[in-house]
Structure 1
Amino acid sequence: MQKFLLFSSILLAPLAATPVLHAQETVSHLPLPYAQPLVIAQDAVKADPFFLTRAKNLARQAAERENGGLSQYRAETSMYGPAIDSPHVENEDGSVTFSFKGGAPGFVSPTLETVATVAPAGIVTIGYNGPIRPAAAQPSEPDPTPAAPASIPQVPSQIIDQIKDLVE
């Protein structure tokens, strides 16, 4: 049971939405006290991931309604995948603004752009819905230097050793 608790806390740690970092906790109510990692360091997430997913779906559905339904319009694929990958900005008031493109079903090049803001209460406001604006379609200046690869958070070797012990 102790190994299960340790293993599940390690696997589920990235799903935690708290920005607080707890390195270890001593579990004393079990027969043998041991140190248990609670949360691995990660970037702070402002919006609740469940709200972000709901907001993404509400924004996409509002764009579908505005553009004639699914028989005439499809949003870009990022609006169907994980919410964290969707083009969004988290606002200070708790709302989330999505800016995405779309077009006729099966489109190769998008023809429409939608900017939708979803309030925490679930109210969707369409800020823009029309042809793709030139400023949004092309960046003002191309970046001559390639972007650095996203850094992968380093997991302490103690945790890796604990996982290896569990697998063996």
Structure 2
Amino acid sequence: MAELNELIAQQLFGVVAVLAVLVILLLIIVLAQSVKVSRLRKRYERMMAGAGVEDLESLLLNLKMQTDSVEDEQEKQRRAMTLIEQRQRMAKTKLGMKRYNAFSDQGSDLSFSFALLDELDNGIVISGLHNRDSSYVYAKPLEQGASKYALSAEEKEAVELARREGTR
């Protein structure tokens, strides 16, 4: 019986020794995890400092709302820019002017032809004819640089000057 007690004591001592080693290993693991959690908490607190919110979920929701607002504003600006570009294409920005003497026997270069075109060469040509007794002004619409009304040589030259203005 003494042998049995001694054998049980040895076995019990072995089990206790193994348990003690396990407890020490678990204690080391717990300490290591505690250090990692402490570092994470410090990083979390630094990240949340000055954010004006108490938790990460609120911060993320706030950032999502701000992002949505920025995207909405950006879409408004995109639409406005498209509208501006469409209007700009229709703006009459190409100009051409030709001065000449319409009546060679009298006066000077007081007559003119003035062409005003947009990006697609649509617009108007205005001609003013001046002589000693009177002045006349004519306007002719232009579509793609041509008019359904006959253009004089000076009007054609003014249109060509305006077209060249747009290629610079």
The normalised TM-score by structure 1 is 0.25
Q: Which has the higher helix share?
A: 2
